[in-house]
């Protein structure tokens, strides 16, 4: 009977999808297979990870909704706010025309026997009832952004305004809190190091702050959050405001996923990642002893081509004093022999600005700094994060030049604290923390090149002179290494 029910959902979803496609054309060859997979995993007590670059578009939403509508159990579909609005405006009416009868209210699609909830990740986490779920089916899209999304959600920033309370009933208590704030301000500014606005706290200082916020946790919701975070051992640091002579207190969990581990372990998930293969997310779950039952990869809606990978021999290392000049000379030559869209990616702020300035002095308005332009022959200088966020708004580059590999910046406090945390646990902080994040960021940045067999030029000498650099090159798939890029190579 179980098998009969399983196949019945597959058969029904296939029929509805076939009818849907008659009036809604699609360019995705795997749409039927995707619909069958979704129908299968909805009825199995298993966790799936489905990878496909199609999830960057909207082509996959209708087959998934059809299966959810036919699956007569409550389910939750997690999307971005923009995609939820798109679904409500462009998908639901078409599905009603197929014969589905439902009402829509506050992003709840309600049928006679069940409901489908459309919700953002932030609202899902904020829902106090969500952690009471058990064996509930949750479709979670946007997994490729999960780490950053969770970081942004859980990060706590305590500002000066949070230390002041306008309630007259707590005025006497507030005076002691303000006094504490000023004492801490004096202490932190005395610890300031030249050219560094961040203060890192030792174990004793963290313990004293934890005791203080625990004592005054009822003062405000923000104080309660800080108290809870410190008791859980979150990473914390202070940033100094030298202009206004004030300070800010930052807190982040060491592992963001631990905050929703109970939610994941108690329910059945289908994770959807817009990466070609999301090896990063599998390892991310494994750190919390969370396992995936099946991993399925679907090709996107374009013919995948090999990236042409060029790594010049005998490249300088970034610590070489002549590195910037060599990079600039190479970029100038690479741009001269390219008439299409060239993208220069680096997370080093000074290098990015200097490259843009130098290139603009020769190529004028053709050079842009993190600006969206419809023209095809531009030279765009940008950070990896900016490009990842805006790449869908631009055409695929003819070539991407990477002067420096995207190893996480050790100037960022959370990275420094994380490295210290890994060292204390006697773990390989570089290969377990920094390297996976660099590979994941590089994969997302260069993926548009697979649409047009574009060129990827890596000018960082570590790519060939370090073993981990060579492993980064191997992670770029599918690719074809070329030995010559310029006529004089």
pLDDT at 46: 86
Q: What is the CATH number of the domain that holds 457?
A: 3.40.50.300
Query: Does 335 reside within a domain?
Result: yes
> Residue 20: is its pLDDT beyond 90?
yes
Sorting pLDDT into bands at 50, 70 and 90, what band is 282? confident
Query: Do 358 and 472 have their domain in common?
Result: yes
458 token code pair: 């890596």
The answer as to whether 117 is a domain residue is yes
| 135/22 same-domain check | yes
Same domain, 464 and 321: yes
78 falls in which pLDDT band (50, 70, 90)?
very high
pLDDT grade for 103, boundaries at 50, 70 and 90: very high
- Is residue 67 included in any domain, yes or no? yes
Domain boundary among the residues 242, 277, 297 is at 297
CATH of the domain at 103: 3.40.50
Q: Rounded distance, CA 213 to CA 156, Å?
A: 14
Counting the structural domains of the chain, the total is: 3
Most confident option among 314-323, 398-407, 422-431, 436-445: 398-407
**Alpha helices, DSSP H, located in 216-286:** 221-231, 261-266, 279-286
Within a domain: residue 30?
A: yes
365-392 pLDDT per residue, tens: 999 999 998 888 899 999 999 999 999 8
Residues 205 and 268 in one domain: no
Q: What confidence score (pLDDT) does residue 115 get?
A: 94
Q: What percent of the chain has pLDDT over 70?
A: 94
- Mark whether 138 and 172 lie in a shared domain: no
Where in the sequence is the domain holding 229, given as residue range(s)? Answer: 154-252
Residue 441 is assigned to a structural domain of this protein: yes
Query: Exposed, middle or buried by CB within 10 Å (0-12, 13-18, 19+), for 123?
Result: middle
Q: Are residues 275 and 330 in the same domain?
A: no
Residues whose CB is less than 8 angstroms from the CB of residue 225 and which lie 6 or more positions away in sequence, other chains included: 156
To the nearest whole number, what is the mean pLDDT of the chain? 90
Alpha helices in 323-448 (DSSP H): 323-336, 349-363, 384-390, 413-424, 429, 435-446
pLDDT band at 4 (very low <50, low <70, confident <90, very high): very low
pLDDT at 6 over 50: yes
**Does residue 270 lie within any of the structural domains?**
yes
Residue 276 has pLDDT above 80, yes or no: yes
Query: Is residue 456's pLDDT more than 60?
Result: yes
- Looking at the structure, tell me whether residues 196 and 242 fall in a common domain: yes
- Are 465 and 324 part of one and the same domain? yes
9 lies in the same domain as 33: yes
* One domain, residues 170 and 123: no
Higher-confidence residue of 351 and 485: namely: 351
Residue 149 lies in a domain: no
User: Is residue 184 within 8 Å of 158, Cβ to Cβ?
Assistant: no
Cα 209 from Cα 233, distance rounded (Å): 12
The answer to whether position 486 is within a domain reads no
347 and 369 share a domain?
yes
pLDDT value at position 487? 52
Same domain assignment for residues 373 and 459 = yes
Is-cis flag, bond preceding 219, omega within 30? no
């Amino acid at each position: 009977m179980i098998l009969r029910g399983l196949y019945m959902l597959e058969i029904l979803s296939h029929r509805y999808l076939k009818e849907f496609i008659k009036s809604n054309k699609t360019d995705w060859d795997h749409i039927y297979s995707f619909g069958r997979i979704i129908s299968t995993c909805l009825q199995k007590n298993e966790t799936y990870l489905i990878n496909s670059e199609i999830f960057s578009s909207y082509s996959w939403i209708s087959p998934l909704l059809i299966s959810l509508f036919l699956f007569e159990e409550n389910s939750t579909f997690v999307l971005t706010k923009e995609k939820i609005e798109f679904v409500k405006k462009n998908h639901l009416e078409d599905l009603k025309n197929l014969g589905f009868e439902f009402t829509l209210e506050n992003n709840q699609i309600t049928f006679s026997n069940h409901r489908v909830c459309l919700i953002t990740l932030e609202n899902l986490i904020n829902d106090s009832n969500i952690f009471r779920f058990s064996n509930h089916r949750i479709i979670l899209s946007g997994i490729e952004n999960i780490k950053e999304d969770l970081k942004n959600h859980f990060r706590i920033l305590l500002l000066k305004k949070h230390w002041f309370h306008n309630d007259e009933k707590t005025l006497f208590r507030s005076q002691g809190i303000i006094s504490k704030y000023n004492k801490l301000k004096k202490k932190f500014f005395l610890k300031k190091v030249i050219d560094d606005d961040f203060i890192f706290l030792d174990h004793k200082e963290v313990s004293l702050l934890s005791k203080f916020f625990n004592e005054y946790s009822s003062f405000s919701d923000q104080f309660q959050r800080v108290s809870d975070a410190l008791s859980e051992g979150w990473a914390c640091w202070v940033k100094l405001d030298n202009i206004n002579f004030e300070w800010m207190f930052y807190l982040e969990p060491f592992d963001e996923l631990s905050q929703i581990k109970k939610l994941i372990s108690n329910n059945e998930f289908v994770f959807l990642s817009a990466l070609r293969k999301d090896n990063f997310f599998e390892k991310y779950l494994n750190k919390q002893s969370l396992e995936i039952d099946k991993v399925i990869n679907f090709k996107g809606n374009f013919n995948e081509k090999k990236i042409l990978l060029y790594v010049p021999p005998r490249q300088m290392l970034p610590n070489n004093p002549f590195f910037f000049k060599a990079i600039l000379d190479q970029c100038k030559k690479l741009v001269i022999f390219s008439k299409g869209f060239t993208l220069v990616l680096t997370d080093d702020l000074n290098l990015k600005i200097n490259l843009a300035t130098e290139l603009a002095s020769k190529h004028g308005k053709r050079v842009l700094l993190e600006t969206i332009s419809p023209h095809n022959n531009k030279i765009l200088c940008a950070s990896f994060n900016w490009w990842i966020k805006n790449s869908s708004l631009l055409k695929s580059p003819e070539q991407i030049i990477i002067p420096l590999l995207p190893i996480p910046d050790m100037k960022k406090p959370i990275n420094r604290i994380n490295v210290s945390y890994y060292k204390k646990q006697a773990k390989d902080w570089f290969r377990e923390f920094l390297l996976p994040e660099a590979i994941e960021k590089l994969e997302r940045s260069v993926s548009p090149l697979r649409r047009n067999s574009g060129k990827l030029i890596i000018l960082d000498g570590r790519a060939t002179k370090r073993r981990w650099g060579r492993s980064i090159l191997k992670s770029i798939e599918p690719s074809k290494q070329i030995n010559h890029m310029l006529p004089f190579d």
